[in-house]
Amino acid sequence: MHITLAPMEGVMDFHMRQFLTDIGGIDRCVTEFVRVVELPLPSRVFHRLCPELRNASRTEFGTPVRLQLLGQHPECLAENALRAIKLGSDGIDLNFGCPAKTVNKSRGGAVLLKDPEALHQIVKAVRDNVPSEHVVSAKIRLGYADKSLAIENAQAIAEAGASELAVHARTKEEGYKPPAHWHWIKKIKQAIDIPVIANGDIFSFEDAQQCMEISGCDHLMIGRGSLAVPNLANALKGIEAPYSWLQNLEVMEQYFQWLRHIEDKEKFMPSRIKQWLMFMKLQHVEADPFLQSVRAIRHPDEMLLVLQQAQQNEKLKAKIHQ
């Protein structure tokens, strides 16, 4: 089972990629998107979103990292794709799935799913400009408002020369509302001849098995699930059981301690912990009341103390129930 860590704007940054790949089980990461509006972008833009470029496009623990580009102009994207490759990126990924209104208003992300020809032109321009030994992948949703163009969009991308296609099994308007329509991935898989990666609502080993059975996908991509269950990749591979609530608390403290002296990140840690808890609510009933109890916390030391106290409380509960 090959597992890719999904790009999540404002969440799956360099530090989170480092931390989650250290836990293990992740085979590749895709960065937050690099917005392409002019050409060429300076190298500092690529390095800011993908510091791993300075490490042969690998995380500290050896996991390959692929730069993702977002934009609407084929020539600009092609030029910047080649620049990213020359800087060392592990291939190029193209974003046709971002649902953000600000992105879609500037004709980027999921809004391009209304126009299969535009997808074809972008992918072809990038593929033609990037040396053949490097992967050019794309990520889509099933459509913008509906799924009527899902197969046509996938075919346009495949015929333009993409190496592989990741599919988030919802439309833009469906957002993240359950369920993910894995059966639509199967329709796409049957219509194209490149590897298809399934994404959406994979939170457990059982989810992964069901997704693969229904979709017929080649590989999996996890996003929110990897934050709800930090060792999800290992759990999907049967390496270890999903972390308990106590283990999640310990992981959050480890992350806190790891980042507190890095690039003045400490002051942002209370907000990051609250953000993380929003995802953990998807799998742990304990996460919501804990989130409510820490909402007002602004100071890093206070947040760290509360995390440590919560761990002690969980350990005490476990002893009582022994």
Phi, psi of 146 (to 5 degrees): -145, -175
Phi, psi of 93 (to 5 degrees): -115, 140
Whether 50 is catalytic is: no
SS3 24: coil
Please give the Cα distance from 270 to 273 (Å, whole number): 5
SS3 72: coil
Catalytic residue among 50, 98, 211, 217: 98
Q: Hey, how many other C-beta atoms are within 10 angstroms of the C-beta on 27? A: 16
Q: Evaluate whether 77 touches 122 at the Cβ level (below 8 Å).
A: yes
Q: Evaluate whether 20 touches 226 at the Cβ level (below 8 Å).
A: yes
Phi, psi of 43 (to 5 degrees): -60, -30
The helix (H) or strand (E) run that includes residue 281 is: none
Q: Evaluate whether 46 touches 53 at the Cβ level (below 8 Å).
A: yes
Residue 192: HSE in the Cβ half-sphere, 13 Å Cα cutoff: 30
Query: What would the two tokens of residue 300 be?
Result: 């890093």
Residue type at position 213: E
Among candidate residues 25, 14, 120, 114, the one with its CA nearest the CA of residue 77: 120
Please give the Cα distance from 96 to 307 (Å, whole number): 38
Please give the Cα distance from 100 to 106 (Å, whole number): 10
Residue numbers annotated as active site: 98
